[in-house]
Chains A and B, each alone.
Chain A
Amino acid sequence: MKVIANFIANRGDFTLDVDITISSGTVTAVLGPNGSGKSTLLRTLAGLQQIDSGEIRFGDRVVNAAPSIHVSPQKRSVGVVFQDYALFPHLSVEQNIAFGPRSLGASKKEAQAQSQAQMNSLGITELANRKPGQISGGQGQRVALARALATQPDLLLLDEPLAALDAQTREGVRAELDRQIKAFAGCVVFVTHDPLDAMLLADRVIVLENGVITQDGTPGQLAARPETSYVATLMGVNLIRGQAQAGVLHVEGGGVLHIPQSSLEGEVLAVLRPEAITLHINEPEGSARNAWQGTVSGLTPMHDRIRVSVEASPPVVATITHASLADLKLAVGSPIWISAKTLTIEAFSK
Chain B
Amino acid sequence: MAWLLAREALPFTGLLRALVIVPLLLPPVVSGVALLEALGRRGLVGGFLYDNFGITFPFTTAGVVIATTFVAMPFLIITLEGGFRSLHQRYEDAAATLGASHRRIFFRVTMPMVAPAAVAGLVLCWARALGEFGATITFAGNFPGVTQTMPLAVYTALESDRSVAIALSLVLLVVSVGVLVALRGRYLQSRAS
Spot the interface stretch: B8-16, B35-43, B94-102, B135-143: B94-102
Q: Which residue from chain B places its CB closest to the CB of A85 in the assembled complex? A: B94
B113 adjacent to A103 (CB under 8 Å)? no
Say yes or no: A103 contacts B104, CB within 8 Å. yes
- B interface footprint on A7-31 (CB within 8 Å = 1, 0 otherwise): 0000000000000000000000000
Docked pose: A79 CA to B93 CA in angstroms: 11
> In the complex, what's the smallest C-beta–C-beta distance from B5 to chain A, in angstroms?
22
Q: Is A103 a contact partner of B95 (Cβ separation < 8 A)?
A: yes
A 44-55 to B, binary, CB cutoff 8 A, 1 in contact else 0: 001110000000
0 or 1 for each of A63-95: is its CB under 8 Å from B? (1 = yes): 000000000111110111010101011100000
Say yes or no: is B178 at the interface (Cβ < 8 Å to chain A).
Answer: no
Whose C-beta in chain A lies nearest to the C-beta of B102?
A74
A90, B97: Cβ atoms closer than 8 Å: no
A73 lies within 8 A of B109 (CB): no
A74 touches B96 (CB 8 A): yes
Distance to closest chain A CB from B88 (angstroms): 7
How far does the Cβ of B105 sit from chain A's closest Cβ, in whole Å? 9
Task: Say yes or no: B113 contacts A90, CB within 8 Å.
Answer: yes
Cα distance A75–B97 in the bound complex, in angstroms: 8
Q: Indicate whether A151 reaches chain B with its CB closer than 8 angstroms.
A: yes
CB contacts (< 8 Å) of A72 on chain B: these are 96
A200 is an interface residue with CB less than 8 A from chain B? no
Q: Which of B88, B97, B108, B112 contacts A80 (CB 8 A)?
A: B97
Which residues of the other chain, A, contact B101 by a CB distance below 8 angstroms?
Answer: 74, 103
Q: Distance in Å from the Cβ of A190 to the closest Cβ of chain B?
A: 15
The answer on a CB contact under 8 Å between B99 and A100 is: yes
Q: What are the interface flags for B140-160 relative to A under an 8 Å C-beta threshold, 1 for contact and 0 otherwise? A: 000000000000000000000
Q: Which of B77-101 contact A (CB under 8 A)?
A: 88, 90-91, 93-101
A58 within 8 A of B: no
- B side interface size, CB within 8 A: 18
B95: A residues at CB distance < 8 A: 88, 99, 103
The reply to whether B94 and A151 form a contact with Cβ atoms under 8 Å apart is no
Q: Evaluate whether A82 and B98 lie within 8 angstroms (CB atoms) in the complex, with A88-B109, A89-B113, A90-B112 already known.
A: no
Q: How many Å from the CB of B148 to the closest CB on chain A?
A: 42
- Beta-carbon contact of A147 and B98 below 8 Å: yes
Q: Give the total number of A-B pairs whose CB atoms are below 8 A apart.
A: 60
CB of B192, distance to nearest CB on chain A (Å): 15
Q: Determine whether the beta carbon of B100 is less than 8 Å from that of A74.
A: yes
Q: From residue 50 to 103 of chain B, which have CB atoms closer than 8 A to chain A?
A: 88, 90-91, 93-101
Chain A's nearest CB lies how many Å from the CB of B127?
A: 26
Name the residue on A nearest B98 (C-beta): A100
Cα–Cα, bound, A48→B109 (Å): 17
Shortest distance between the CB of B141 and any CB in chain A (Å):
45
B96 to chain A: closest residue by CB: A73
Question: Are A86 and B100 also in contact (CB < 8 A) when A99-B95, A103-B95 are?
Answer: no
CB-CB under 8 A from A86, the residues of chain B are: 88, 90-91, 93-94
Q: Nearest-CB distance from B98 to chain A (Å)?
A: 4
CA distance A281 to B36 in the complex (A): 93
- In the complex, are the beta carbons of B94 and A74 less than 8 A apart? no
Q: Are B97 and A104 in contact (CB under 8 A)?
A: no
A75 CA / B88 CA spacing, docked (Å): 22
| Chain A residues, CB < 8 A from B94 | 80, 82, 86, 88
- A78 close to B113 (CB less than 8 A): no
CB of A57, distance to nearest CB on chain B (Å): 18
Known: A86-B88, A86-B90, A86-B91. A78 touches B109 (CB 8 A): no
Which chain B residues border A90 with CB–CB below 8 Å? 112-113, 115
A-B contact sample (16 more), CB < 8 A, given A88-B95, A99-B108, A148-B97: A46-B97, A47-B97, A74-B97, A74-B99, A74-B100, A75-B99, A76-B97, A79-B97, A82-B90, A88-B91, A90-B113, A90-B115, A99-B100, A103-B95, A103-B104, A104-B98
A-B contact pairs, 11 of them (CB 8 A): A46-B97, A72-B96, A73-B93, A73-B96, A75-B99, A82-B93, A86-B88, A88-B94, A88-B95, A99-B95, A99-B98
Binding site for B on A (CB under 8 A): 46-48, 72-76, 78-80, 82, 84, 86, 88-90, 99-100, 103-104, 147-148, 151
9 smallest beta-carbon distances between A and B, as pairs: A100-B98, A103-B100, A103-B99, A86-B94, A73-B96, A104-B99, A86-B90, A80-B97, A90-B112
